[in-house]
Each structure stands twice: as C-alpha cells, then as structure tokens.
Amino acid sequence: MSQIDHDKYRKLLKIQQNNALLKTSQAVLGWDQEVMMPKGGIEWRARQLGFLAGLAHERSTTPEIGKLLQECEQDQTLTSAPRSVHGTNLRMWRREYDKATKLPVSLVKEIAETRSLAQSAWSEAKDKSDFSIFLPFLEKNLELSKREAECYGAPEGGELWDALADNYEPGANAKEISEIFGPLRDRLAALIQEVQEKGSAPDTSFLDVAVPISRQDKFGRLVLESMGYDFNHGRLDESSHPFTQSFSPADVRITTRYQETNFLDALGSTMHEGGHALYEQGLPMETAGTPASEAISLGIHESQSRLWENMVGRSRSFWQWSTPLVHDILGSGLTPYDSEAFYRGSNRVQASLIRVEADETTYNLHIMIRFELELRLFRGTLEAKDLPCAWNKLYQSLLGVKVPNDAKGCLQDIHWALGIFGYFPTYTLGNLYAAQFFAKAEEDLGCMDDAFAKGQFKTLLAWLREKIHRQGSRFFPGELCEQVTGRKLSSDAFFSYLEKKVRETHGI
Ligand code: ZN
C-alpha cells in the first residue's frame, strides 16, 4: 500500500478538505461584502458569516481530528518524509489543531467581545484624538493577548510575545527579529539623515496630474498581464482598502483603489496585490485545500507583493518599458515626464508621520517603532498609559518628525485595537525576504534589467514559482529563506539594494 493510500490519512484528508471548502466558501461571502454587496445587506451577511464561522470552528476542533492526527503521527510510513505532501500536511494540521484547541471557549468569547468594543473605542479616540478613551481597552486587549499567549505557551528559550508572532510567522521570535532589525535601524536612520541634509528631492509634480480612472484601470490591467497575472483565474475590482482574496489557485482575485491624481497610488496597490496574487495562483492546484498548497506566512506573502511593487515597479528598467505606455494610455498630462523622472519621483524619500503613506525607505522605521513598543508593553517595561509619550519620542529620534497629536501618532493603526500583536514585523520581514530572494534570482538568472526594459518578467516569475510558490507550506519561513538563498535572513541585501537606489535618485 502506498503511503497516501493509508486509511487514517485518507479519512483525515477528507475532513480537512471539506473544512477548506467551508472556509473558502466563507471567503466568497467576505469578498462579496467588500466588492459587490449593497450596503443594506450587511446585517444578513453578518449572520451568514457568524454562522459559518461557528460551524468552521466546530468542525476544525472536533476530537476526531485529534484522534486521527495522533494515529497518523504514530505511523512511520507517514512521518518519515517531513517535506512530502502528507508530511507537510500532518505537521501543519497539528499546528492548527493545537492552536485552535488550546484556547478555552470562555477566553475566545471574552476576546471577541472585548475586541469589538475596543475597536469602536479606538475609532472614537482617533476621531477626537483622545488617547484616554482608548487606554482602558488597550490595557484589556494586552491582558487578554498575554493570556492567549500563555495558553499557547512561550517556545523554549523564548518569550510570551513569540507565541503570538508564531500565528503570523511560524517560528519567528523577538530575539532573532531584534538581531535583524537592530543594524538595519541604524543604517536606515543614517541614510535618511543624509538624504535630508545633502540630497536633492526628486520632482514629484506628476502626481498632481489628473488621470481618468478608466485609463488608470486599463494601464493597471496591462501591467498585471505583463507580470503574468492570469485573468482566466482572477479578476481586478475596486474596494476602499486594496486586498487579495484566494479561494483556490484557480480563483485568485485582487482589488485596488483609484484617485484622479497620484496615479502611482493605484499602480503601486495593483502591483502589490498582483504580487500577492501571483503567489496564490502559483500554489500547486493538485493539493488545493491542504497546507501543501497554502502560503507559509505573512512575511513570505509580503515578500512577493513588495518584490513586484518595489523591486520591479520602482526600478529604472520598469520605467524604461512603461513610460511610452504611460504617455499613450494615461494621457498627455504626463508626456512632459520621461522615464528618469518617473524613476526618481517614485523613489522619493521623505520622513512622515503616517505608516501607510510612508515611502520604501522610511517605512521600515515605522515598523521598528511599533515592534519595539509592543515588546516593551509585553515585557512590562512600558505601561499602556505611557505609550503616547514613548511613541512620540521614537518618532522624533528615528524619523526626525514631531507628532502633533495622538490621532497622527499612536492611534493611527487599527492593529492594537483588534488585539493583533506580533503582526507588525511581518511587513519589514517581507521587505527583507524580498530583497534577499531578488538578489538570489539575479545571481541565478543574471541581471534582468534588459528584460524588464522590454516588459518581460516571465523569467523572474518562473523562478519565483519554482523556488517559492510551488513550495506551499513545506518549509517554515526561515527554512525557506535558507533553502532558496543559501543564507539566513539578514538585512544586507535589502540595505544595499535600497542604498544604491536612494543615492541614485537623490544625487548623493
Ligand atoms: Zn501586502
């Protein structure tokens, strides 16, 4: 009998595949809510989603899964090849099952209730720029998240925060992240200071040119097709917050948003989500509905979006290819600008207050500030009430900007209101993975500038498919990085890529 014909495994596989059908059906309703649903449908939709969420939780925590997992794990023929499809599935199913069953139902309920209250308090606090409204909820969210982390348990040699980070980035821990972020933080701060003192700011006046949305949409679709996004297995729509939603590798949808001016905003969002979608479309269809065909982490996911958005979309060669198309499709308002102008303007460095509006260089400092503060809150070396003061100090010292009020300071992000801790670093980890992968791709394939300048991105995509997308969840992020690049993750590739570009575009 072959390993995969194993009875117990087949039974478990069937249960898990059905659960995946249920969860991806939920996702269809979620996508519809963001993109298509009329406003008045919200109450019924909330009931539909609530019902399905309860069903999904019940089905994924049934003791039958635990029993079958245990039986499969005792079978040497199933566990002897940990990177095989069944080895990967058993390992990841075990993780999911343990996480889902370790939290007592009473805590899950308390968390859900508190988070919904915290979210509305945060929203009011942000509107009024009054931190005191949010403070009691932040304290409660922290307490609940610590209890949640205690249920999972800190990894050996690690700390509580790690248990939460592991939900988003399997195997991640504060110690290793700090070791990677530390040197990068100093180098970035120095580079930004140099830009402020000696750099000449690129002209970004093309961002004021109005471009009809239908033209931006046409251009975005052309770029997506050139990247290799498959419209037979996807679609592009508009929503207020751009996102990617996959139901299976055969149906991966993205959204973007448009404004009349600043065509770069929509282009950046479209390429970013396009990068996420290429990862999802590249996962193996033959194992769809199991971890062998699932993205491994948020950091690796973000590496794919950032690679296309920044390493491709803000490169000189990309603009050499796309500038004639920009002139042709986006209209005569942009014809005075050549490819160099777009290249320089799209890479402008400017320290600012708001993370989601930050450029590629300053962005990571916004993340590091949040990471540091979160750790201090978790370790008990910072009290929640002192958060605004600590926040403002770090913005002043690292980015050189003065925070005028808490709405533009520590109340700007929704994450802590939703009780999401351990998440922020995945954004920067994504940037670092992206650069390390890209450097390795160039090592393997040679310089891709000439191909990019002709709008040819297929070789790069084929490389990403083989090395990253097809791997699904076979490797944890750190292992995947070593497997693909031969090295542990560091910030070296990212910093040298960025420094070269910043110096070129700012004349320093
Ligand atoms: Zn993203």
Two tokens at 470? 């097809």
Give the distance (Å) from ligand 1 centre to CA of residue 410. Answer: 21
In a domain, 162, yes or no: no
73 falls within a domain: yes
DSSP string, 35-91: HT--GGGHHHHHHHHHHHHHHHHHHHS-HHHHHHHHHHHT-HHHHS-TTSHHHHHHH
Cα separation of 21 and 290, whole Å?
10
Residue 1 has a pLDDT of 40
User: Do 206 and 321 fall into the same domain?
Assistant: yes
Residue 461 lies in a domain: yes
Q: Describe the crossing of helices 7-35 and 42-60 by its angle, rounded to 10 degrees.
A: 160
Q: Which two tokens stand for residue 377?
A: 């809150």
Q: How far is the CA of 255 from the centre of ligand 1 (A)?
A: 12
Residue 5: the pLDDT is 57
> Does residue 279 lie within any of the structural domains?
yes
| Dihedral sign for Cα atoms in the order 198, 200, 202, 203 | positive
Q: How far is the CA of 274 from the centre of ligand 1 (A)?
A: 10
CA–CA distance, 181 with 187 (Å, rounded to integer): 10
Tell me the C-alpha to C-alpha distance, in Å, between residue 21 and each of 27, 293, 297.
10, 14, 21
- For residue 169, being part of any structural domain is answered with no
Q: How far is the CA of 73 from the centre of ligand 1 (A)?
A: 35
From the CA of 185, how far away is ligand 1's center (Å)?
A: 21
Q: How far is the CA of 147 from the centre of ligand 1 (A)?
A: 29
Domain shared by 118 and 251, yes or no: no
CA distance to 268, 446, 451, per residue, from 274 (Å): 10, 24, 19
Query: By the 8 A CB rule, do 430 and 303 touch?
Result: yes
pLDDT per position in the chain (508 positions), as tens?
444 558 999 999 999 999 999 999 999 999 999 999 998 998 999 899 889 988 998 999 999 999 999 999 999 888 889 999 999 999 999 999 999 999 998 998 899 889 889 999 999 999 999 999 999 999 999 999 999 999 999 999 999 999 999 999 999 999 999 999 999 999 999 999 999 999 999 999 999 999 999 999 999 999 999 999 999 999 999 998 899 999 999 999 999 999 999 999 999 999 999 999 999 999 999 999 999 999 999 999 999 999 999 999 999 999 999 999 999 999 999 999 999 999 999 999 999 999 999 999 999 999 999 999 999 999 999 999 999 999 999 999 999 999 999 999 999 999 999 999 999 999 999 999 999 999 999 999 999 999 999 999 999 999 999 999 999 999 999 999 999 999 999 999 999 999 999 999 999 9
Same domain, 62 and 135: yes
> Does residue 163 belong to any structural domain of this protein?
no
CA of 302 to the centre of ligand 1 (A): 5
In this structure, the answer to whether residues 234 and 377 fall within a common structural domain is yes
Q: How far, in Å, from the CA of 427 to the mean position of ligand 1?
A: 8
Token pair in block for residue 238: 């508009």
Say whether 273 is catalytic.
yes
The answer to whether 387 and 138 have CB atoms below 8 angstroms apart is yes
- Per-residue b/e over 67-102, b at no fewer than 16 CB within 10 Å? ebbebbeeeeebbeeeebbbbbbbbbbbeebebeee
Residues in the chain: 508
Domain, as residue range, for 57 = 3-153
Active-site residue, from 169, 273, 360, 372: 273
**pTM, two decimal places:** 0.96
Q: What are phi and psi of 367, to 5 degrees?
A: -70, -45
Asked if residue 31 lies in contact with residue 238, where contact means CB atoms within 8 angstroms, the answer is no
Q: Is the residue at 121 inside a domain?
A: yes
Say which residue the tokens 């209101």 belong to: 417
Are residues 206 and 146 part of one domain? no
Q: Are residues 193 and 121 in the same domain?
A: no
The confidence score (pLDDT) of residue 79 equals 86
Q: Which of 122, 153, 184 is the last residue of a domain?
A: 153
For 178, other C-beta atoms within 10 Å of its C-beta total 15
Which residues touch 245 (CB under 8 Å, ≥6 apart)?
27, 30, 31, 252, 253, 254
Together in a domain, 198 and 245:
yes
Same structural domain, 280 and 386: yes
Distance 276 CA to ligand 1 centre (A): 7
Task: Label the pairing between strands 244-248 and 251-256.
Answer: antiparallel
167 assigned to some structural domain: no
CATH number at residue 249: 1.10.1370.30
pLDDT of residue 154: 95
Judgement on whether residues 27 and 132 belong to the same structural domain of the protein: yes
Span from the CA of 297 to the centroid of ligand 1 (angstroms): 12
| Cβ-contact 302, 431 below 8 angstroms | yes
Q: Are 135 and 180 members of one domain?
A: no
Query: What are the CA-CA distances from residue 323 to residues 56, 124, 223, 229 (Å)?
Result: 48, 44, 12, 21
What residue type is assigned to position 170 of the chain?
P
DSSP code of residue 332: G
Distance of alpha carbon 476 from alpha carbon 349, whole angstroms: 33
Number of domains in the chain: 2
Give yes or no: residues 74 and 194 share one domain.
Answer: no
The residues, ordered by sequence, that sit 6+ positions from 419 with a Cβ below 8 Å of its Cβ are 111, 114, 115, 118, 141, 144, 145
Domain boundary among 86, 120, 153: 153
Tell me, in angstroms, the distance from the centre of ligand 1 to residue 164's CA. 20
How remote is the CA of residue 350 from the centroid of ligand 1, in Å?
21
Give residue 70 CA to ligand 1 midpoint distance, Å: 36
Q: Do 186 and 40 lie in a common domain?
A: no
Q: What is the DSSP string of 389-441?
A: HHHHHHIIIII-----SGGGTTTS-STTTTT--S-THHHHHHHHHHHHHHHHH
Fill in the DSSP letter of residue 308. I
Q: What is the pLDDT of residue 113?
A: 87
**Residues 6 or more apart from 111 whose CB is under 8 A from it?**
144, 148, 419
